[in-house]
Amino acid sequence: MIELNSIRKAFNQGRHNEYWALSGIDLSIPEKRVTALKGPSGSGKTTLLTILGCLARPTEGRVRLKGEDISGLPERFLTEIRRQTFGFIFQQFNLIRGLSAIENVILPAFPTGRPRRELREKAEALLADVDLGHRREAKVEWLSGGEQQRVAICRALINDPELLIADEPTANLDTKLSQEFLAILEKLAAAGRTIVLTSHDPLVVESDVVDFVVSLRDGRIVDEK
């Protein structure tokens, strides 16, 4: 689905604090599978995730999405691709405070101009799927951590993306909630979505849901299985 060729990514390039987060990554993300990026903090897994999700462009190297080279596309097109193809679940959930759960869920669909009723129906269905139907009008800051994450998952799914990107999804959850997350993940994988996540939580990396594990260290892939 996504192919990376000798990706390198530098921060603060050309300045005294220049820092290479990724130094030569070749990776292929298979379709309809769950891929986990694992590694200690600072290994470059989040940076790799931003490149996979078209949030950032590599300094060097090529990114191919379904065979098409997208690393040279201008920001406008990247945004559109991001909106159509990817759903994001952030570590801090990144919900907009002051809005209700359902309003947060439909946010990514606003630029598409789809009718509000359609969006709300879809969002209600998504929230009901993760047992949050009764909390849909609650403001997100009143929700618990686990509920917030489920809202974030629904938000990632509103545009019906082929690919889900999750950054440390269980970092803020206890074991029970993490297991619930894995159950949701399993459902999504069974529904045929491609999923890429980063984690150093053994519970996730070693679970049966994950098909491939890519280990990173110091900006390089050290192991793939």
Nearer to other proteins, 70 or 211 (CB): 70
Task: Report the first-to-last Cα separation within the chain, whole angstroms.
Answer: 17
Longest dimension (CA), the chain: 53
* Contact pick of 90, 177, 184, 211 for other proteins (by CB under 8 A): 90
Rounded to whole angstroms, how far apart are CA atoms 170 and 146?
9
**Least CB distance to other proteins at residue 99 (A):** 5
Nearer to other proteins, 160 or 206 (CB): 160
SS3 of 4-40: the string is: EEEEEEEECCCCCCCEEEEEEEEEEECCCCEEEEECC
Could you tell me if 105 and 158 are in contact, meaning their C-beta atoms sit under 8 angstroms apart? Answer: yes
**Interaction between residue 97 and other proteins (CB under 8 A):** yes
**Interaction between residue 10 and other proteins (CB under 8 A):** no
Provide the strand spans (E) within 19-111.
Answer: 19-29, 34-38, 60-65, 68-69, 86-89
Q: Which tokens is 167 given?
A: 């950054």
Apex 38 CA angle, 16 and 157, nearest 5: 100
Q: Which stretch binds other proteins (CB under 8 A): 61-69, 98-106, 123-131, 174-182?
A: 98-106
**Least CB distance to other proteins at residue 124 (A):** 15
**Interaction between residue 114 and other proteins (CB under 8 A):** yes
Site map for other proteins, 128-167, x if CB under 8 A? Answer: ---------------------------x---x-------x
Q: Which tokens is 96 given?
A: 């907009």
Q: Which stretch binds other proteins (CB under 8 A): 34-42, 61-69, 82-90, 205-213?
A: 82-90
β-bridge partners, 163:
86, 194
**Interaction between residue 112 and other proteins (CB under 8 A):** yes
**Interaction between residue 61 and other proteins (CB under 8 A):** no
Q: Which residues bind other proteins (CB under 8 A)?
A: 46, 49-50, 55-56, 75-76, 79-80, 82-83, 86, 88, 90-92, 94-99, 103, 107-116, 155, 159, 167
